[in-house]
Structure 1
């Protein structure tokens, strides 16, 4: 695995050399677009609106429109920005984990010690673990200044990008003007249902159903071609959950609780009780 960034963490006067690696990867099946008439591959061209010629990536610059003019920014212009030249992850404060809104979290990177003496890295990692705090940091990556947090996962420090405050939209924009009335009984039954579904989170137990089904579809298409019968492959799928019918909330809660009970109830051993047990 190749490092995508090399620099250092500035922790007060302590300097921690690190390499950053992408902590996540996409598992989606790669698809491309084709013409539905003949299956021909659809490709997108970078074509100049002035001269009409196709343009290579190496000949592309960025530009800003101010309403009257086009201000062209070359790679040299972008590289000259002080923030872009920085190879430092600056620790600015330590905060409790609950103060970071998960909605603000973005891409994650594993940080590996980039030094023959990884003591500074180990010191910061242990400090984060012992204090149970997150380090708020500032850093520059891929022509963008970012806010982030440092935390520990499985003895490795993780850098996680955080959205700037003005990038997060106000939730009140979609909140209802008037909240509907919820009875105590409805709340109690809803809490009971939550309790029945409660357990420790084990992400390994879940899989991407869409990608599994897409792979099955591709394999079936390879075997059967255009004669593919999707109902035979997947079974008939109804429009579940798309009905406009209004259901009784209490009745739905009762049925949900009863259904969950039947799924989690211990199975009978099949042994008959003795007279003494009766």
Structure 2
């Protein structure tokens, strides 16, 4: 496992240096959204809704929309001035009975590993929690957000489990629950009998994610039967390797050539025109004819000049 946070538990006058690890990791078969016709991955770009242009991460700020339709833009400097618990300390506030912590408040669980020099104070805190059969209520700053959490013991490790703030728990407002319902004693006894018949000690290892197993089996069957297709190469990657990048390169070269011609003046343009083939020369001859001072030095231009003069004499 890889530590995602490093700091210390402030336990009275005792500091216990620890490293924080994610204790859980949901497993699932990774599926992507693809175009059914050609298998291309569906990508999502960050685009400004005003000008329709793509936006890079360094151009993105956070904003709050007020009730009357005004926008408040918050910068990194604004966030730096907000009060936040120290990012390297888990402050123990109090110890409470475990049964008083409503499970609905419990969030993500992390393991706390003691530093090499903190084995004894770590064991001291763990023993105190076990003896008192209590949880330590703490405050901790994770990912630039202050959270409530509890410390509890699982086997030999101290776990930190984040808590929701009280106002983050919604009230169950269901009027139907207030209606008077009559339950007969025989019905209640039957329900209790069903509970007793299914009573057991909880062992999560006895349960299996049947959907995940079936999905894995389905994918493996398709692979075995050859029901696959070649992985398509996204257009963006093709551009990087050749296609799109070549187009950009040609466009850049064309702009460079035009810029160079402008800098060298009309005479240089006429010299280049003489070396071009017929299809490419036509638009350039037209451009040369528009300039009164541009000398007609190419072979084709000199053959036309006498014809023009002869016509003038005839008129």
Q: By the TM > 0.5 criterion, same fold?
A: yes
Q: In structure 2, what is the Cα distance between the partners aligned to 1:13 and 1:111?
A: 19
Structure with a larger share of its residues in helix: 2
TM superposition shift of 1:187: 1.2
Give the aligned partner of residue 26 of structure 1: 26
TM-score norm. by structure 2 comes to 0.67
Q: In structure 1, what is the Cα distance between the partners aligned to 2:81 and 2:28?
A: 37
Cα deviation per residue 1:25-60 (whole Å; 9 max; x = unaligned)?
021111111123332211111112234322233432
Unaligned runs of 5+ in 1: 228-278
Cα deviation per residue 1:67-94 (whole Å; 9 max; x = unaligned)?
4432222334324433164322111111
TM superposition shift of 1:113: 0.9
Q: In structure 2, what is the Cα distance between the partners aligned to 1:143 and 1:175?
A: 41
Q: After TM superposition, what 4+ stretches of structure 1 lie above 6 angstroms from structure 2?
A: none
Please tell me whether the aligned partners of residues 78 and 143 of structure 1 are also in contact (alpha carbons under 8 angstroms): no
Q: SS of the counterpart of 1:172?
A: coil
Give the aligned partner of residue 88 of structure 1: 89
Between stretches 167-176 and 103-112, larger displacement belongs to: 167-176
TM-score norm. by structure 1 comes to 0.75
Residue 36 and residue 114 in structure 1: after superposition, are their counterparts in 2 closer, same or farther (change >3 A)? same
Unaligned runs of 5+ in 2: 229-315
Residue 174 and residue 55 in structure 1: after superposition, are their counterparts in 2 closer, same or farther (change >3 A)? farther
> Where do residues 204-223 of structure 1 align in structure 2 (5 Å cutoff)?
204-223=205-224
Q: In structure 2, what is the Cα distance between the partners aligned to 1:92 and 1:130?
A: 18
> Where do residues 224-239 of structure 1 align in structure 2 (5 Å cutoff)?
224=225
Give the aligned partner of residue 242 of structure 1: none
Q: SS of the counterpart of 1:46?
A: coil
Between stretches 23-32 and 89-98, larger displacement belongs to: 89-98
Please tell me whether the aligned partners of residues 109 and 160 of structure 2 are also in contact (alpha carbons under 8 angstroms): yes
Q: In structure 2, what is the Cα distance between the partners aligned to 1:6 and 1:212?
A: 37
Q: Is 1:55–2:49 an aligned residue pair?
A: no
Question: Number of residues paired by the alignment?
Answer: 227
Please tell me whether the aligned partners of residues 85 and 140 of structure 2 are also in contact (alpha carbons under 8 angstroms): no
Q: In structure 1, what is the Cα distance between the partners aligned to 2:180 and 2:37?
A: 51
Residue 17 and residue 175 in structure 1: after superposition, are their counterparts in 2 closer, same or farther (change >3 A)? farther
Q: SS of the counterpart of 1:98?
A: helix
Give the aligned partner of residue 98 of structure 1: 99
CA RMSD of aligned residues (A): 2.1
TM superposition shift of 1:174: 6.3
Residue 147 and residue 117 in structure 1: after superposition, are their counterparts in 2 closer, same or farther (change >3 A)? closer
Please tell me whether the aligned partners of residues 16 and 118 of structure 2 are also in contact (alpha carbons under 8 angstroms): no
Residue 219 and residue 174 in structure 1: after superposition, are their counterparts in 2 closer, same or farther (change >3 A)? farther
Please tell me whether the aligned partners of residues 109 and 162 of structure 2 are also in contact (alpha carbons under 8 angstroms): yes
Cα deviation per residue 1:94-140 (whole Å; 9 max; x = unaligned)?
11111111111110000111252322111101111111111111111
Give the aligned partner of residue 146 of structure 2: 145
Residue 54 and residue 167 in structure 1: after superposition, are their counterparts in 2 closer, same or farther (change >3 A)? same
Give the aligned partner of residue 10 of structure 1: 10
Give the aligned partner of residue 134 of structure 2: 133
Q: In structure 2, what is the Cα distance between the partners aligned to 1:23 and 1:174?
A: 39
TM superposition shift of 1:200: 1.1
Q: In structure 2, what is the Cα distance between the partners aligned to 1:59 and 1:5?
A: 28
Residue 217 and residue 79 in structure 1: after superposition, are their counterparts in 2 closer, same or farther (change >3 A)? farther
Residue 164 and residue 175 in structure 1: after superposition, are their counterparts in 2 closer, same or farther (change >3 A)? farther
